[in-house]
Structure 1
Amino acid sequence: MRILFAVSDYPAHYFPMVPMAWALQSAGHEVRVVCSPEEAGSVSRAGLVPVPLLDGPDMLVRGRIFHYFAALGEGADRSLGMPLHPVTGRVLEKLSDFDWPRYKRENQQRNLTAIRRSLDDTVEFARQWRPDFVLHDLMSLEGVLAAQVLGRPALCHLWGPVGPAEDEPGATLVPQDHTESFARHGVGPMGPELVGRIIDPCPPSIAAPFTGERLPVRYVPYNGPGAAAAAGLGGRGRRPRICVIWGNSLAGLLGPRSFLVPRIAAALGGLDAEVLLACDPAALTDEERAVLPGNVRVLGYAPLGLLLPTCDAVVHHGGAGGGMTAAAVGVPQLALPFTVEQSVNARRMARSGAALALDGRTADEAAIRAAVESLLDAPGHRAAAAALSAEIADRPSPAELARELLAAAAV
């Protein structure tokens, strides 16, 4: 059989789909991944075949435009300072320094043309390749459209506790079709109602609301290739180990004040624990590195599936990748979210008892330290984390779900 994956242009959105693609490919079936040219390399490094057809405005640019308009609103939150310029990514001195009418005039038609071309090219590829079914992530218009045009089954593979039926403002991630391509292809309109089946890695205790068909799958951690040595597996002493996971995309979206790693490191300084910073070393200034406490070590990026099982607590910004990996391996976690999606992730993890959540915009060093000490010392968090891990392990493996999908597609 042939299975088409369609993914949006952010690796963390499709990394959770990689084990399913491996399972289908290992069973002897053909897998193709429609992606942007920028993502073709990471798809190839996962051992999969990219089809680099997608184009359109950069996801960070779109996100910065969203937060720019949020800053224009009455009573806007200014705890992170001025928003970033949507194009350059630099902190604005004043809101008028970004000329939205000019940007729209110069870019809107080009962006719409690029999105329309991506949708049409994906449909054309699907018509020629004739997949038996389509798997797509939550923000992929192309996968939904191709499946609808060809009359093939489509499944939305979630990356964590946020789903297609959220009702909280700002949490709905299913994109709209601003190009009217669905209507041009005789499909439409695009909306959550076209996402009728999901592959869900979350057990009921942390799952998103959804009334359609939910296919459970075990979460298998993957956040890119890497060696065991790079994951800091050697030389662990008697002290507890705390891992701080922080990527660069948040600062690229919200600005430098959202990079909390120096504050977290200071909060955990002097604690009788080993603290590993799983972040880009270049994101720390020379001054910040010079004042890191003696129990804190900069590790850099690492395969989380190898690193987190060696840890006793995890601190992260509420992203699904770090949160789901910590949940899968049974490590208590502290989430410090900034965006609505991250806050939803954090709240659903916290309701299981396996996590604590603090607002990343307001959490100070004392609150961060107290929360981490609670994760290390309170047995309830460890027990809840172990229970959540057991729930995830009890779900069907990607290989088991792959057999079910293939059997259904063969009927």
Structure 2
Amino acid sequence: MNRCLFVVPPLVGHINPLVGVAAELASRGHDVAWAGVPELVHRLAGPDARVFPSPVSWADADRPVRPPDIRGPEALRFLWERFLVPLADAMADGVRDAVLEFRPDVVVADQQAPAGALVAERLGVPWATSATTPAEFTDALASMPKVAAWNDALLRELRLRIGDPEGTADPRFSPRLVLAFTTPELAGRPARGGDGIRWVGPSLAARPSAAGFPWEWLDPGRATVLVTLGTTNTDAGGRFLTACAEALRARADRLQAVVVDPEGVLGAAAPGGTAPPTGPGAGPGPGAVRPDGDLLALPAVPQLALLRRVDAVVCHAGHNTVVEALWHGVPLVVAPIRDDQPIVAAQVCDAGAGVRVRFGRATAARIGPAVEAVLDDPGHRAAARAVGAALRAAGGAAAAADHLEHLLDDELQDELQDKLQDKEEG
């Protein structure tokens, strides 16, 4: 039995892929623990998950509010200076305590939780990388050398504070193992990441889901379109969701829509919407637009289960949503907002598995034809199914667990060889 410590940021999309890996390792008899925000890890990985608090204290209020209009290098600067580096500094002590108490044989550090890699490096513990998005593989800063140099300097300074000052490995890319939760059929050939990349595809595990979804509402005689902007884009989504509702209602003769609407913006905005139902047996629950046959808006949906029943997805090009949709062979309309989303959107389009609309200019007049394109053009669905076949063949959580076991075996063999050499020299 080996011990594995997962180090994760307080981001749902970066924890979910590792939930299945942790469960797979546990089923094989390994001891698994987490370093992260306990409330969030417990919600996603289950109440019995062993979690070392890191950072010791974290609330949504601790996360800086990013201006919705910043893009490009300014968005990157905000991400690193205001979120990733402060988060790494805040996590370092908790990760160190977790390693010293749990004594893992390997640390698996998310790319956006570099404290995991740097603390493991400093304490001499083997570490692997969890790459829940392919953005870092593209070397997007290659054409911006000054920005790349600034980013490298931030990481060097961070290493001096919490890592091994003599270390040389990029904390976003373990030289031993990088678990990439995608495949080359979608992500393309990596520009960086080294020989340690292992393409495992999406890790889909049972996860908490919204109760009371009205499955009987789905009309088998019409196409179903799912609209979602993920868990971190509610600040930017009101106008876009309203435009989607207008576009999809105009095509109600042939399709119906399920819209993830956590802020309830469609309660009043969606034509035909009614006040949220209340009382026993009221239906879809607080914050929902009562289904009228054309559109159902809910604060949350059981996405994995629903993807088996939908014909197209309209989304922000968040990586988890994209690979989960394609795993099910569902084509996409992607409207990237920020961060890695333009990169993922480009990958979807390059694979032929969807079409892109500009988020800032997405009106009903643009969204409607895009949805028609992915529903009507058999090429998009064929491409989605081809990418989905590759994603499924990659192995997911089981493949990731295999690679971690191989890493542990290699480390054991190296340790034995070192002991034999010491004995011979002695």
Do the two structures share a fold, i.e. TM-score over 0.5?
yes
Q: Is the aligned partner of 1:358 residue 2:357?
A: yes
Q: Judge which range, 40-49 or 314-323, deviates more.
A: 40-49
In structure 1, how many angstroms separate the alpha carbons of the residues matched to 2:220 and 2:325? 21
Counterpart of 1:266 (choices 223, 229, 246) is 246
Q: Is the aligned partner of 1:287 residue 2:286?
A: no
In structure 2, how many angstroms separate the alpha carbons of the residues matched to 1:17 and 1:178? 27
Point out where structure 2 has 5 or more consecutive residues left out of the alignment.
Answer: 274-291, 413-426
Residue 164 of structure 2 is matched in structure 1 by 186
Counterpart of 2:114 (choices 141, 157, 166) is 141
Residue 21 of structure 1 is matched in structure 2 by 22
Q: Is the aligned partner of 1:125 residue 2:106?
A: no
CA offsets, 1:150-208, max 9 Å, x none? 32322221223323553247999999458746455533478457543311121112226
In structure 1, how many angstroms separate the alpha carbons of the residues matched to 2:109 and 2:387? 26
Q: Percent identity?
A: 24
Q: How does 1:74-93 map to 2 (within 5 A)?
A: none
Instruction: Give the secondary-structure state (helix, strand or coil) at the position aligned to 1:3.
Output: strand
Residue 330 of structure 1 is matched in structure 2 by 329
Aligned 8 A contact 1:35 1:53 in 2: yes
Larger Rg: 2
Aligned AA (1:186): D
Point out where structure 1 has 5 or more consecutive residues left out of the alignment.
Answer: 77-85, 87-103
Q: Is the aligned partner of 1:372 residue 2:371?
A: yes
Q: Judge which range, 129-138 or 205-214, deviates more.
A: 205-214
Q: 1:64 to 1:2 in 2, by over 3 A?
A: same
Q: How does 1:85-124 map to 2 (within 5 A)?
A: 116=89, 118-124=91-97
Residue 9 of structure 1 is matched in structure 2 by 10
In structure 1, how many angstroms separate the alpha carbons of the residues matched to 2:155 and 2:345? 29
In structure 1, how many angstroms separate the alpha carbons of the residues matched to 2:63 and 2:158? 19
**What is the Cα deviation at residue 46 of structure 1?**
7.0
Aligned AA (2:390): E
Q: 1:284 to 1:190 in 2, by over 3 A?
A: farther
Residue 418 of structure 2 is matched in structure 1 by none
In structure 2, how many angstroms separate the alpha carbons of the residues matched to 1:327 and 1:291? 31
Instruction: Give the secondary-structure state (helix, strand or coil) at the position aligned to 1:361.
Output: helix
Aligned AA (1:312): D
**What is the Cα deviation at residue 337 of structure 1?**
1.1
Aligned 8 A contact 2:12 2:231 in 1: no
**What is the Cα deviation at residue 145 of structure 1?**
1.6
Q: Is the aligned partner of 1:393 residue 2:392?
A: yes
Q: Judge which range, 172-181 or 318-327, deviates more.
A: 172-181
In structure 2, how many angstroms separate the alpha carbons of the residues matched to 1:371 and 1:72? 29
CA offsets, 1:354-379, max 9 Å, x none? 11111100122111110100111111
Aligned 8 A contact 1:312 1:376 in 2: yes
Q: Is the aligned partner of 1:156 residue 2:139?
A: no
Q: 1:283 to 1:246 in 2, by over 3 A?
A: farther
Aligned AA (2:22): A
Aligned AA (1:39): L
Instruction: Give the secondary-structure state (helix, strand or coil) at the position aligned to 2:136.
Output: coil
Aligned AA (2:260): A
**What is the Cα deviation at residue 312 of structure 1?**
0.6
Counterpart of 2:183 (choices 203, 219, 222) is 203
Q: How does 1:59-78 map to 2 (within 5 A)?
A: 64-65=65-66
Residue 229 of structure 2 is matched in structure 1 by 246
Aligned 8 A contact 2:202 2:320 in 1: no
In structure 2, how many angstroms separate the alpha carbons of the residues matched to 1:67 and 1:174? 26
**What is the Cα deviation at residue 336 of structure 1?**
0.9
> What RMSD in Å do the two structures reach over aligned CA positions?
3.6
Residue 99 of structure 1 is matched in structure 2 by none
Residue 309 of structure 1 is matched in structure 2 by 308
**What is the Cα deviation at residue 143 of structure 1?**
1.1
Instruction: Give the secondary-structure state (helix, strand or coil) at the position aligned to 1:310.
Output: coil
Q: Judge which range, 206-215 or 25-34, deviates more.
A: 206-215
Counterpart of 1:278 (choices 260, 263, 267) is 260
**What is the Cα deviation at residue 141 of structure 1?**
1.8
Q: Judge which range, 217-226 or 187-196, deviates more.
A: 187-196
In structure 2, how many angstroms separate the alpha carbons of the residues matched to 1:251 and 1:227? 18
Q: 1:405 to 1:285 in 2, by over 3 A?
A: closer
Aligned AA (1:216): W
Aligned 8 A contact 1:12 1:223 in 2: no
Q: Judge which range, 390-399 or 32-41, deviates more.
A: 32-41
**What is the Cα deviation at residue 262 of structure 1?**
1.1
Aligned residue-pair number: 374
In structure 1, how many angstroms separate the alpha carbons of the residues matched to 2:215 and 2:152? 37
Aligned AA (1:149): R
Aligned 8 A contact 2:107 2:120 in 1: yes
Q: 1:289 to 1:314 in 2, by over 3 A?
A: same
Aligned AA (1:250): N
Aligned 8 A contact 2:6 2:108 in 1: yes
Aligned 8 A contact 1:34 1:122 in 2: yes
**What is the Cα deviation at residue 119 of structure 1?**
0.4
**What is the Cα deviation at residue 67 of structure 1?**
5.7
In structure 2, how many angstroms separate the alpha carbons of the residues matched to 1:263 and 1:409? 50
Aligned 8 A contact 1:122 1:142 in 2: yes
Aligned 8 A contact 2:331 2:354 in 1: yes
Give me the TM-score of the superposition, normalised by structure 2: 0.76
Residue 276 of structure 2 is matched in structure 1 by none
In structure 2, how many angstroms separate the alpha carbons of the residues matched to 1:71 and 1:396? 34
Q: Judge which range, 115-124 or 144-153, deviates more.
A: 115-124
In structure 2, how many angstroms separate the alpha carbons of the residues matched to 1:376 and 1:184? 50
Residue 31 of structure 1 is matched in structure 2 by 32
**What is the Cα deviation at residue 399 of structure 1?**
2.0
